Structures are given as C-alpha cells and as structure tokens.
Chain A
Amino acid sequence: MSEYKKIAYYPGCALEGSGHAYNRSTKALGKALGLGLEEVKNWNCCGAMEVKNIDPKLQTYLSSRVMSIAAHEMGHDTVMAPCNGCYHNLKKAEYDLGHDADSRDVVERLSNKAGHKTYQAGSVKTIHALDWIKDAIGEEELARRVKNSLKGVKIANYYGCMYTRPRHIFPEKDKGPGSESTSKPHFMDDLLAAAGAENVDFPLKTACCGGAHTLSDSDTSTRLVLNIVQAAEAAGAEVIATECPTCHSGLEMHQIRAETNFGIKTKVKILYFTQLLGLALGLSPRKVGVHENVSDSMAWVKEKILR
C-alpha cells in the first residue's frame, strides 16, 4: 500500500486565490480516488518569491513552520504541495536545514519566539501533487478507473521552472527508472497518457514563462508565454496541461494579453492536470472548477471529453 494514501495537504496562498480551480480539482480528484488529504492547520505563507529574495532564512523559517505543524501537531510524515512555488520552498527549507547551521539557528530562534516546536530536517517528506497521484494510484490503477477517456485529446505538458530547479533541492529526482527527471520531467505525461491522452512532443516543458515579472515587465512575460503557447499549438496540442497555479495564471492571462496587445490570437486551451484527470474519472466540469479558469474551456471540454 502506498505511503501517500493519507497525507497532509498544504494548498498555499495561490490555491485560495487565483488558483482556486486547482484547489477544487485537487481535492475532488483525491476524493474520487479515495485518497485522504488533511489540510495543514493554521498554515502560513511559504515565503514565496518575495520573502525568499529579501531574507532567505526567514523564508526557510516560514516553510519550516508548515512542516512543523504537519509533523508535530498533526502526526503526518508527508506534506503534499500542489503549487510549484510552495513545493520548491518547502524543499529548499528542507535542504537549508540539512546543510546550513545558520539556517537551523534562525529557525530555532524564530520557532521558540513563535511558541511552536522547531522543525528538524527529515521529519516530513514534501511531495508534489504529481508524486502523490503517481505513487498513491499509479498509471495502471488510474487507467482502470477512467470513465471518460481522454483518447484523441492532444496535450502539451507544461511543468514550469520551479518543479525541477535548482536540482540539488530535489535529491529524489534523477534516480533512474521510476523517478522524475529534472531535465525532461514526465510524471504529468505518464498520468495523462494513462487517462488516454496523447502527449505531443513539446520542447518548452520547463522553459521560463517570466512568471515573477508578469506585472513589472509584462511585455517580456507575454513574449515568453506566447512562444510557449504557439509552440504547443505547432506541436499539435489542443490543450496545455499545467501543475502550478502561477504558471497556469500566467499562461491564461498572457494568452489574452498577447491578443489584446500584440494582436496574436491562439486557441489552445489551458487546464490543470487535476482538472483533466478529474474529468477523465467522470467528475463534472463544475466539480473540477473549469468554470473558475480565466479562459473559457467549457465548450471544448464538452466536445472533446464529455462527448
């Protein structure tokens, strides 16, 4: 039996805001698959990009507090973070606490001040939603449970940058067959293929979307996103599958911005992998939050998946 049948769930800020459809579809998918998710109590921001770049040790503390609650107050040994930013930051905190005495000192001092048990490296394992489904269910079982096959649906899988970089904070990756690859990630491809989808060859799976500059340097972000979207279309994809709320929002918003500012219209749909898997398992579009996405994919979903 998989060790991921009941785990702590850390949605993070984005999944309560712009990425709400990812939150909804992740929970719905877990429920449909009989997997237990217990939300981390009183969780806080992981330190995201802003704190990390001003005071990385404060970010280490913020992420460590989430892991401390999961381990010491809830008794979990695994935390699942579907957001690439959260996943990356918890992994980074784990790495820092295992390798840097200064980080350990700061975390201990702040934990004592905040009145909770100090997190020790190795107390919990942080995983992504892709690891969760891949390990707890696997392709074979997933294929067995599919009700609306994604057969005929051509998908470009976009993993974004923070799922695999920097490599040294993901020691479990690049371990050969069965493990995830940092240079050519494939877990999302594997799961969607198990649901019947046809994954297209897509060279920009982990290419920069300019995400952090989406507001301060919008034209750069739009050019990067437009190139990703156009490449997906040229590869024959009808939909881009995402696994990060920041990537997803960036792709949706800059797809629209490319049309309004650059006059370039693209048609490829953008859906979370959890939405696609949920639909394949027979969940309704509403159950997986298709109506909450910025771009309207409802007609396409009805035509291509609920046919």
Chain B
Amino acid sequence: MSAPTEETAARGNPGARALMPLADVERALDAPDVSAPELLHLGEAILAHWLLAHGEIPTDDTREGFRLLALHRQGAANEPSFNACRETARELAWHYNQLTLTTPDEPERVREMMRFTAKHLFYFVTGKLAERQLGDFCCSARPLRQDAN
C-alpha cells in the first residue's frame, strides 16, 4: 500500500496537523490532482469534524485497516442515523484499495468515483451538522434503532 506523503497527508489528515476547516476540505475535494490517499484523509477529516462537533475525540484506532471506518463507527455509536453514511465510508475505503493495491483498467475513472464518494460523505455530514435529523426519518429510523438497542 502506498503511504501518503507528508505534503498530501497534511492536506487532509486531521492527525498530521490541526484539523482542516470544512470549507478547505470542500475545496480540496475539488482539487484536480487530488490523490487516493488525500481523498481518504479528507474523508477522515470530515468524520473527525462530526465527532468534534459532538464533543468526542476522534479515535486513532483502525477497523479493517482503516481509521476512516473506525471514525465512522465511533460517530454512529450514539447516533444510529449516522449509519446512513456507513456504505459511503466503506465505498471510500474500497476505492482507496482499488487505487493503491491493484492496477485498475481506468484509474482516472476510479479516482473520479472515489472523489464523488468522498463528496457524498462531505454533503451528508455537513448536511447533518446543519440539520441533525437528516437520516432520522428514513433508513436509519431512530425509534426503530432505539427499540432494537
């Protein structure tokens, strides 16, 4: 697996420096040369913002080799409707693996799909930061989850 360079890591990695503001995350997502490691770290930054906004310290643990997935799980622990972006986070990790562990036929297209996936995570999380109930009414069904738990 290709490790992100210090420069690329700093563009998105909340662990490398102070957490990148969400406005900068959005700009970075649209950067023409954004790489797979950067997109992964931007995804982590998005989830870290969610956690910090809810008084949590973003974890440095990993799940299935990804801090991104550990951050998502942490974010969903007390907010079941956050699972509405679970598959989006997993797709981001899957595309990262595609681009760093394999040689896809069309790497540019795969990278573009990874970018769209990261942007979806951004729109969902920022939407939910603005409107807490996003995801509550439909698939995540807060009362159902509460009953089940």
Main secondary structure on chain B at its contact with chain A? helix
Cα–Cα, bound, A85→B141 (Å): 11
Smallest beta-carbon distance A248→chain B, Å: 14
Contact B130–A220 (Cβ < 8 Å): yes
Closest to A220 in B: B127
Asked if A208 meets B135 with Cβ closer than 8 Å, knowing A165-B84, A183-B90, A203-B113, the reply is yes
- Flag the segment in A106-114, A191-199, A229-237, A298-306 that touches B: A229-237
What residues of A have a CB within 8 angstroms of the CB of B143 in the complex?
Answer: 52-53, 56
Contact A53–B116 (Cβ < 8 Å): no
Contact B127–A217 (Cβ < 8 Å): yes
Q: Identify 14 new A-B residue pairs, CB closer than 8 A, beyond the known A211-B138, A220-B134, A234-B109.
A: A49-B138, A50-B137, A52-B137, A53-B141, A161-B135, A166-B140, A166-B141, A201-B113, A203-B95, A204-B120, A207-B87, A208-B85, A220-B123, A235-B109
- Interface assignment of A11: CB less than 8 Å from any CB of chain B: no
Smallest beta-carbon distance A210→chain B, Å: 6
- Interface assignment of B144: CB less than 8 Å from any CB of chain A: yes
Cα–Cα, bound, A223→B125 (Å): 12
B-contact 0/1 string along A259-301, CB 8 Å cutoff: 0000000000000000000000000000000000000000000
- Interface assignment of A76: CB less than 8 Å from any CB of chain B: no
Specify which of B84, B123, B144 is in contact with A52 (CB 8 Å cutoff).
B144
- Interface assignment of A3: CB less than 8 Å from any CB of chain B: no
Smallest beta-carbon distance A14→chain B, Å: 13
- Interface assignment of B74: CB less than 8 Å from any CB of chain A: no
- Interface assignment of B54: CB less than 8 Å from any CB of chain A: no
Specify which of B113, B117, B127, B147 is in contact with A224 (CB 8 Å cutoff).
B127
What residues of A have a CB within 8 angstroms of the CB of B79 in the complex?
Answer: none
- Interface assignment of A212: CB less than 8 Å from any CB of chain B: yes
Q: Which 7 A-B pairs have the closest CB atoms?
A: A161-B139, A212-B137, A231-B116, A220-B127, A165-B139, A56-B143, A49-B137
What residues of B have a CB within 8 angstroms of the CB of A65 in the complex?
Answer: none
Cα–Cα, bound, A274→B17 (Å): 51
Contact B138–A166 (Cβ < 8 Å): no
- Interface assignment of A116: CB less than 8 Å from any CB of chain B: no
Interface residues of A in 131-159 (CB under 8 A from B): none
Cα–Cα, bound, A303→B142 (Å): 45
Using a CB–CB cutoff of 8 Å, the interface residues on chain B facing chain A are 80, 83-85, 87-88, 90-91, 94-95, 109, 112-114, 116-117, 119-120, 123-124, 127, 130-131, 133-145, 147-148
Per the CB 8 Å criterion, the residue count for chain A at the interface is 44
Contact B117–A203 (Cβ < 8 Å): yes
Contact A53–B136 (Cβ < 8 Å): yes
- Interface assignment of A104: CB less than 8 Å from any CB of chain B: no
Smallest beta-carbon distance A163→chain B, Å: 9
Cα–Cα, bound, A53→B84 (Å): 16
Specify which of B88, B133, B148 is in contact with A166 (CB 8 Å cutoff).
B148
What residues of A have a CB within 8 angstroms of the CB of B85 in the complex?
Answer: 207-208
- Interface assignment of A227: CB less than 8 Å from any CB of chain B: yes
What residues of B have a CB within 8 angstroms of the CB of A96 in the complex?
Answer: 144, 147
Cα–Cα, bound, A166→B146 (Å): 12
Smallest beta-carbon distance A2→chain B, Å: 28
Cα–Cα, bound, A165→B85 (Å): 11
Contact B148–A208 (Cβ < 8 Å): no
- Interface assignment of A128: CB less than 8 Å from any CB of chain B: no
What residues of B have a CB within 8 angstroms of the CB of A162 in the complex?
Answer: 138-139
What residues of A have a CB within 8 angstroms of the CB of B117 in the complex?
Answer: 203-204, 231
Cα–Cα, bound, A203→B90 (Å): 10
- Interface assignment of A213: CB less than 8 Å from any CB of chain B: yes
Smallest beta-carbon distance A216→chain B, Å: 8
Specify which of B87, B95, B116 is in contact with A206 (CB 8 Å cutoff).
B87
- Interface assignment of A117: CB less than 8 Å from any CB of chain B: no
What residues of B have a CB within 8 angstroms of the CB of A230 in the complex?
Answer: 116
